[in-house]
Chains A and B, each alone.
Chain A
Amino acid sequence: MAAPAKPGLIVLAQLSRLRLQTSPCVGTSFVQLRNYAARKGKRAAVQKAKRAMAKTEEKKEWKPKRLLMKDEAFMGERPQATAEWLARRPTDDVYLRAFYPPPRLSVPDAVARLADVNAPEMYDNMDGYLYLKLHLDMRMEKKNKFLDAFKRTVMMPNYFEVKEEKTVLVLCKSLADQTKARDLGATLVGGTEIIKQLEKGKLDKGDYNTIIASNDIIPDLIVIRGYLRKQFPNTRNDSLGSDVGVMVHNYLNGVTMQAEKPAGVHSYANIVVPVGRLNMNPEELEANVKNMINQAMSHKPNRAFSDKFITRSLLTVPPGKENFDLNTESYIEAPKKSNKKDKQADAGEEEGAEESKMAATN
């Protein structure tokens, strides 16, 4: 029994035949006659925006939720650090360190303990570098704003040699300054001609760890501000000023401290920086530690989340794994009383402060 043909099918077939008969110019296909873009910059602008979007999107690796929360939570506030826990003191003469909060020592005390392990009979590492570890609270008053990681070279009150590779580009107009910088050991010294080379791509900014400039060359330097970006000379990290000689000397003989955030973390940062050698005088080491702590404190933003910018400070000597907590508060100097001028400077600084905006996640 053959089924009768469905009427709908017939109609469809007819339609398709109809369409075949129509001429292409009446059909749905659209032919572009103009061979130029209607709006010239449109495509470029769209592509630029796309590229910018791709840059800002962070690639997130999969992690168990437990670990993810651990990252995002602020590590300085550990759950066990309650007032009761911190007030706990040992009464036994032999005790496990895990049962009590770590003792907070002065620098000479901590150095004495580290010297015990690094004595010639044990690790034999008395000329090893003494490292200061600082844990920083990078949170701001606003919930999604955090202080950016920073880098700065600091002159130590007591000099010690650091094996750091330092390449400096010095830009200044006066010949006297140029010769001074050259004598001090700058990698490359020059004036406007160097700026032109940087502009044309004949010199690479990546070859230099820092760029130091004098005030007089700033109008010419502004042209390549977009190229230099974070390397643009700045008074805050002592790479812009009137006295080029002092700046170059301080950079080449100072110690570089760098706040680093672990991957995927915004709320805290760590600094690991050498402050001397173990065989130096403990008082000299103490002065260096005090200087380093106060230099780090100078980066505390006016609108910080809490007063405690440095949440923990430790001393250690690699390859030993022992860390000793320092009594940080005793080394922090009270900020100088600010008069009107300073206040204005502070306000300006705050506007220019490098703050990263984190996309509100979770």
Chain B
Amino acid sequence: MLRVLSTLVRTRSPLFLTKTSPSSQTLLLDRQAACEGLEVHQTRNTWILKRKWTPPLNKLPRYEDDKRRRHLPSRFHVYELVEHRDSVPLKPLEVLLVENVEGIGMKGDIVKVKLNLARDQLLPSGQAVYCSPENLEDYADLIEKRKKEIEDAEGPTRSAFVETTLKYLQQMRLNITMNRNNPWTITKNHIAVSFRKAGVVVPEYAITMPNDPITSDNPRDFEIQLMVNRTDEVTVPCHMFLYASGNVNRAAPDDKGAYGKLAEAEMSTPDQPTNPSP
């Protein structure tokens, strides 16, 4: 590092210190040009500096091995920082996916990913290749196939996030809040709304309800089936909550089951199991 700096310092450009060959007399005036002349290091520890005081021509060495003026006077060794390469944010890398990768993309997709993800995971495991012209030629069939798939799609198509969604649905419990004062029978709309409240978008056609209807007379926990993309089926347990609108004392849900002690006392009859196991 120090060595790089020292070579930079000894160059002859009066405005910018560049790692161009010492013999070159180019006067780099703007920052862009200065940056282009530099070798970009993989370690990104290059510092681009600018002289604060421009030395007059008579202070500069006159030829390559001018012994008389080996160094500039110390007042010309004051520098200002133009750019530190380490502080420049890294650009994402474009890669071509050869396999379906969860949360990133599908086979044949060209995606922009973080450098570390590409270098540590996608490229070494063979899930992706660099987006070079040669690779684009080699995998042209794959890319075209994927493009057609997207264009011809009618209805839902499988995305890279579907695995994550399925995992989330498998571990989730759906809370359904219904009114305690008014009569109701649970419909697919109520399930879809409850899913939306929980941050999952579900169309009504994907829901399969239990055979016996759930009504306000007999609120209980139950299970529903979800068909994701018309291919993957997930079972989601549903948990009933009763909400008392207006100024009625609200039944607080407890660990045991569907409704709180107040609701339990009011609704329990010998025939109905009011405290279903969660």
Are A and B physically bound partners?
A: yes
Task: With both chains docked as a complex, state the minimum distance between the C-beta of A323 and any C-beta of chain B, in angstroms.
Answer: 12
Q: Name which residue of chain B comes closest to A89, CB basis.
A: B159
Task: Assess whether B182 is in contact with A120, with CB atoms less than 8 Å apart.
Answer: yes
Stretch at the interface among A46-54, A90-98, A168-176, A255-263: A90-98
Chain B interface mostly: mixed
Query: Is B44 close to A, CB under 8 A?
Result: no
Chain A interface mostly: loop
Query: Is A62 close to B, CB under 8 A?
Result: no
| Known interface pairs A124-B179, A124-B181; A93-B206 also in contact (CB < 8 Å) | yes
- Of B165, B181, B201, B203, most A-chain CB atoms within 10 Å: B201
How many interface residues does A have (CB within 8 Å)? 22
Q: How large is the interface on B (under 10, 10 to 19, 20 to 34, 35 or more residues)?
A: 35 or more
| CB-CB contacts below 8 Å: B173-190 with A | 177-179, 181-182, 184, 189-190
Query: Is A116 close to B, CB under 8 A?
Result: yes
Task: With both chains docked as a complex, state the minimum distance between the C-beta of A351 and any C-beta of chain B, in angstroms.
Answer: 40
Cβ–Cβ < 8 Å partners of A84 in chain B: 112
- Of A90, A113, A121, most B-chain CB atoms within 10 Å: A121
Cβ–Cβ < 8 Å partners of A98 in chain B: 199
| CB-CB contacts below 8 Å: B196-218 with A | 196-197, 199-203, 206
8 Å CB contact of B161 from A93, A96, A322: A96
Task: Assess whether A124 is in contact with B245, with CB atoms less than 8 Å apart.
Answer: yes
Residue pairs across A and B with CB atoms within 8 Å: the count is: 86
Cβ–Cβ < 8 Å partners of A93 in chain B: 155-156, 203, 206, 228-230
Query: Is A117 close to B, CB under 8 A?
Result: yes
Query: Is A99 close to B, CB under 8 A?
Result: yes
Task: Assess whether A92 is in contact with B184, with CB atoms less than 8 Å apart.
Answer: no
Task: Assess whether A94 is in contact with B228, with CB atoms less than 8 Å apart.
Answer: yes
| CB-CB contacts below 8 Å: A110-137 with B | 113, 116-117, 120-125
Task: Assess whether B178 is in contact with A121, with CB atoms less than 8 Å apart.
Answer: yes
Task: Assess whether A122 is in contact with B200, with CB atoms less than 8 Å apart.
Answer: no
Which residues of A are interface residues toward B (Cβ below 8 A)? 84, 90-99, 113, 116-117, 120-125, 321-322
Residue contacts A-B, CB under 8 angstroms, 7 given: A91-B153, A92-B158, A94-B165, A116-B193, A122-B178, A122-B190, A322-B196
Given A92-B165, A93-B203, A99-B161, 16 more pairs with CB closer than 8 A:
A92-B158, A92-B229, A93-B156, A93-B206, A94-B169, A94-B200, A94-B202, A94-B206, A94-B229, A96-B161, A96-B201, A97-B199, A117-B193, A121-B182, A122-B178, A123-B243
